[in-house]
Each structure stands twice: as C-alpha cells, then as structure tokens.
Amino acid sequence: MPGPINPGTRLAVALDVSDLSQAQSLFRKLRDFEVIYKIGPHLLFSGGFELISEIKKSGAEVFIDLKLYDIPNTVLKTVEQYIRLEIDYFTLHLSGGREMIESVRSRIDSDSGWKPKVLGVSVLTSFSAESWSLASGTIEEIGSAAERMVNHGVRWGVDGVVCSAHELDGLKRRHPELYTVVPGIRPAGYSAQDQKRVLTPAEAAEKGASMIVVGRPITESDVPERVVAQILNELGERSA
C-alpha cells in the first residue's frame, strides 16, 4: 500500500531506464503512489512521448529533464512543446543567461494557458570540488558558483532550482519561496554511486527541499514499490 504523503517535500522517481517497455512497467507498478515522474533524454527519445501521455492520463505529474541550453529562440520552441504536452516541470541551464531565461518566463506568463514550473540548473551534483575547478577553469568554490547562478536565475524569473541538499540552508535563507529540487538522494543503506554530494530523503526534507529525486535505488530494485513506500514513509515521518 502507498505510504503517507509529505505535503512539504514531493518525491520524483527518475525513470532512467533503457527502454519504453521497462519504463511503462515501472510506472504501472508505482501508479498508486503520489509521485512525480522524471523523464530524461534517453527515455524521451526511446518512446517517452507515449509514456508522457499515459502518465498525464493517470493524473500524475511529469518532469522533463533536458537541461535546455541554447539560443533563446530554440529554447522557446522546445518550451512551446512542453506547454502543448502539459509538462509540469522542466529544467534549463542558468548559464544560458538572462535573455534565454527571461524569454521563457515571458512566454509562460503571456497567456492563461498551461504554466509549467521553470527549474534552473546551476552545478551538477556529480561534480566534486576538484572536478568543478577543472571544468570551470576558476578557483570559485562549488557553493559560491551555485549561489551566484541561483541569484541571477531568481532575478530572471525561474520558479525554482535544482541544487545539492548541502546548498539548501543558504538558498532557503536568501530565497524562502524558491522551489528547490534536490537530486543525489540516497535512502539509508544505498550506495552513493557516482553522486558526490548526497543526503537521505529525511535529511533533505528537514532542510526544506520542495522535491527530491531518486532514481537507481528505485529503478534497480526487484521491488520498487517497497523502496518508494520506504521513502514516502520517511518523508511522512519527517513532516509529522
């Protein structure tokens, strides 16, 4: 049976699986749980549009994670498709800049139609301090870089950001109304794998995460329903 729902912190299941049939099977096992379904590029182009339709017909929410980063006109054309499909959440890179983000915000606000949440991506959770220094070509620390990008994104009109749970305290102090999405979540007893900055669901919820994203602990489980119920129970206990 589905576990209790934490009204403060939602669970998104990252459907990072190899093909449509596997994703459909997983969704059908979890459809009685009140969760969000996150779809990335490899599933989207392996039949994911069919799955989006099935998920939306069930009443559940869809989160498309393509991390858009292109000239404003190209990004806007993609956002038009998100609106047509009634996607609930989508990501773009904050490093795409002011014009890109403000044009997206303007389009979404321009009429009374479907309004997805715009989520900005700053620094990926797979970065360590050393790899970030090499990739960015600066000595700026991860936390400082993420803070700078988020501050810009808020001014330009994002609804929320994707961030490490370790950045949540500072973000909530500076932007208490900001919607925060936290990947790199691993329930107690699960390997961190390639994520470098991880917390448990309860720890992320305690810090004020709006949404947590969990993938492989669920998708690689023989009984994914049990893992989802465990996470929702943990979130429910934390909110009680």
Active site residues: 67
Nearby residues of 208 by Cβ (< 8 Å), 6 or more positions away: 8, 168, 169, 172, 180
